[in-house]
Structure 1
Amino acid sequence: MRDFTPPPVTATPPARPWVPLAPVLSRASFAKGGHAPVGNILDAGQVRLVTSGRVAIALALRAMGVAAGDIVLMPAYHSLSMIPPVLWRGATPRFYRVTPHAQVDLADLDARFDHRVKAIVVTHYFGFMQDMAPIRAWCDRRRVALLEDCAHCFFGEQVGASGDYAIASSMKFFPAYEGGVLASRRHDLAGIVLHCAGAGFETKVVLNTLEHSFAYGRLPGLRLLLAVPLRAKDLLWRLRKAGSARAPALAPASSDSEAGFDPAWLDKRSSWFARLLLRRVGHARIVGRRRANYAALQNACSDLAGARPLHAVLPDGACPWMFPLVVDAADTVFARLQREGVALTRFAETLWDGVDASVCANSVYLSRHVLAFPCHQELRADELAWLVDRIRAALQS
């Protein structure tokens, strides 16, 4: 284990956070863990492994028959990346309300419904599942297709089982550069045929996954061994970009945290390396470590003024994506933590044009006040302790 030296406070944000925001590959990634395994999205029927959650959304909408003139009900609290697949189908997103704790407002669904509504997307935020039984019943009564968005919720009993289709973002839970899941228990996925995206894509996934790991001090022996090939790769990448400004992307925009959607990735399967990690990385360890790290963050923030966890309790069996903290002075705290190199994100910080307090005041409030911190399985004890210390200092100042 490398020594973790707390970084000094800087005047400007560092190039990257001092601890990893997302899982990074390490030797410990492959440990099985001492906790009983729970279900996951891969158990939710037939599965297709694609390159991102938004590609899976697009494939699901196409399979549902969503087309021009249709309405897709979307949560007003959302990632911008969820919307382009709807527009690609020629449909119109219509946004429904959520409660203060990001649960579906069932009464508002009735108010938003008309004969043009073809499908609804329901999101399990931060790893906390919605109560799906009443939502499934609502869809059945109105003959509306249900897309279960499990991008934040890869693990858990019955994850993905209620929707006509379900999607997930495996790269939020596994130490891989890309990866998404389309699953269905109710429909045949045999018609969805996927192909390899090519040697360049396969190579980039391996190298980017490893470089991200090396940047945070993991796998030092392998880093030394690959030092020369990685330098050569950087040179080739630069020459490729300089040689053709219109060269096709070697990986989807989602892998670099961009919100764009490129239909060229619809028929591309997830890389060999990402699929290998899905099988080999310890599932029970992911769940156990994430729950333990979440509990540590929740305990650390329980007595702080001006902040409170979005959820008071982590349900049994739930595997969190991140730790969401509602902060009164969110802008000030966020800016300070960024300057200090703290890893955090603001899910739904920017909402789709036209989604304001008149559409859903709770969504606007959550987008402005929820700061989400990493609780993934690859955080080491010293990194978690430093993260806790920085959060407490920022909120007590």
Structure 2
Amino acid sequence: MSSINTPLPVRRVIPPVPVLSLAAFAGGRHAALPSLLDGADARLVTSGRIAIGLALRALGVGAGDVVLVPAYHSPSMIPPAHWCGAEVAFYRVRPDTAPDLADIETQLAKGSVKAILATHFFGIPHDLAPLRALCDRHGAGLVEDCAHAFFGARDGVPVGSVGDYAIGSTMKFFPIYEGGCLVSRRHRLDVTLRGAGAGFEMKAALNALEAAFAYGRLPVLRMLLALPLRLKSALWNARKARSDGGATTPALAPSSSDSSFEFDARWADKRSSWFSRAVLRCVSPARIVARRRRNYVELQRALDGAPGCRPLFPRLPDGACPWMFPLLVDRPQAVFETLQRAGVPMTRFGAALWPGVDASVCPNSADLGRHLIAFPCHQALDDAERAWLHAQVRQALETCAAVPA
């Protein structure tokens, strides 16, 4: 039965990413799925893209080399290769985002490919053993991109263990303002990091706390910090005014924390903040995995039978801890605009690809970029927020399907 005329819950403001709460620290340390950090040499850096650059550098990527990147990608994945002096070529992906091995083998045969970046999109692990064999046969390095898959395994093989190096984006899974990691289970990491200064440390902590306060978490702490936060805002505004007046002041935090696609080499030797590292040590991995899986399955059930859509993955594999819930939508622009007006957080991953990457390069990537909308399923969503999200998405799909194209 259609619910077009069913009143929706009142508009809510729900967190698009994990935010801190007291509940984040409950639930136990032992997760049902392995972590990217388990059994690996690791360096905690400020973003996943910095980790990509460091991984490529560790593989000896340099001028004249080619790095193969999936045609379905975030534009932030490309500048790290350019930082190393390499060129980037794109390989095709299959409709489920798995790498097209035949296309990769064709490009490897050209002989200039130094490294391949393979991504576990949306937290659903791929079987990378065949790609590993291809890399070994052609002498290419493999970087396992686990930015969407901090936890997980495929057929008992933990994410991050197949590549020469693996990278992660801790700020996608933990309630922190910045953070990424470079790891390897195959090599020792010859990477030395240093602190980024008091301003960065303060901003990383306060921004994470303010994100929690903005969504109604940690109310007692918010009251206690009200005066210091007002002082911080005044100092920040004064600093910005000096910068706008022509003074040059270095950024206190990497632009990656504010959703840019840039690669700032000044952060290549900086470690993640003390606050972010402390959160990683203290919050419950078991809760992250269990709640993300539950929230993903709940949203999939809520959308079962909704018109004009289908989940990218028919089922959530046992070994997956999802980053977001990816939905293929027949009328994506209409649905997106409807949900945007309602204030629903979402991501259109791959909608903007690197210049020159289009359907002629990879039809599947272009199709995914046009039709996919991803919705949050992170661990910080409470019962009311999830119910509101489910209702809004289903209502938007039904409303748009009822309007003639």
**TM-score of the pair, normalised by structure 1:** 0.95
Distance in 2 separating the partners of 1:330 and 1:96: 25
- Kept in 2: contact 1:76–1:363 (CA 8 A): yes
Identity value in percent: 60
1:159 aligns with 2:159: yes
Q: Which residue of 1 aligns with 2:127?
A: 131
Q: Which residue of 2 aligns with 1:323?
A: 325
CA-based RMSD: 1.3
Secondary structure, counterpart of 1:379 in structure 2: coil
Change (3 A) 1:29 1:146: same
Q: Which residue of 1 aligns with 2:206?
A: 207
1:53 aligns with 2:48: yes
Deviation digits for residues 25-58 of structure 1 (CA, Å, limit 9, x no counterpart): 0010101259853211101520000000000001
Q: Which residue of 2 aligns with 1:175?
A: 175
Q: Which moved more, 1:29-38 or 1:105-114?
A: 29-38
Structure 2 counterpart of 1:61, which letter? Answer: L
Distance in 2 separating the partners of 1:135 and 1:44: 22
Distance in 2 separating the partners of 1:352 and 1:82: 9
Distance in 1 separating the partners of 2:33 and 2:105: 34
Distance in 2 separating the partners of 1:6 and 1:91: 51
Alignment partner of 2:17 out of 22, 25, 28? 22
CA shift for structure 1 position 110: 1.6
Structure 1 counterpart of 2:196, which letter? Answer: A
1:122 aligns with 2:122: no
Distance in 1 separating the partners of 2:167 and 2:128: 15
CA shift for structure 1 position 6: 4.4
- Kept in 1: contact 2:338–2:396 (CA 8 A): yes
Uncovered stretches (5+) of structure 2, i.e. residues with no partner: 1-7, 400-405
Distance in 1 separating the partners of 2:321 and 2:391: 23
Q: Which residue of 1 aligns with 2:365?
A: 363
Q: Which residue of 1 aligns with 2:354?
A: 352
Q: Which residue of 1 aligns with 2:294?
A: 292
Q: Which residue of 2 aligns with 1:197?
A: 196
Structure 2 counterpart of 1:349, which letter? Answer: A
Secondary structure, counterpart of 2:366 in structure 1: helix
Distance in 2 separating the partners of 1:201 and 1:393: 42
Q: Which residue of 2 aligns with 1:236?
A: 235
Distance in 2 separating the partners of 1:35 and 1:251: 32
- Kept in 2: contact 1:33–1:288 (CA 8 A): no
CA shift for structure 1 position 111: 2.0
Mapping of 1:261-280 within 5 angstroms?
A: 261-280=263-282
Distance in 1 separating the partners of 2:72 and 2:330: 18
Distance in 2 separating the partners of 1:305 and 1:50: 42
- Kept in 2: contact 1:101–1:310 (CA 8 A): yes
Q: Which residue of 1 aligns with 2:105?
A: 110
CA shift for structure 1 position 237: 0.3
- Kept in 2: contact 1:291–1:319 (CA 8 A): yes
Q: Which residue of 2 aligns with 1:70?
A: 65
Q: Which residue of 2 aligns with 1:187?
A: 187
Distance in 2 separating the partners of 1:353 and 1:372: 22
Deviation digits for residues 149-180 of structure 1 (CA, Å, limit 9, x no counterpart): 00000001311000000000000000000000
Structure 2 counterpart of 1:125, which letter? Answer: F
1:148 aligns with 2:148: no
- Kept in 1: contact 2:31–2:285 (CA 8 A): no
Uncovered stretches (5+) of structure 1, i.e. residues with no partner: 9-16
Distance in 2 separating the partners of 1:101 and 1:29: 32
- Kept in 2: contact 1:287–1:319 (CA 8 A): yes
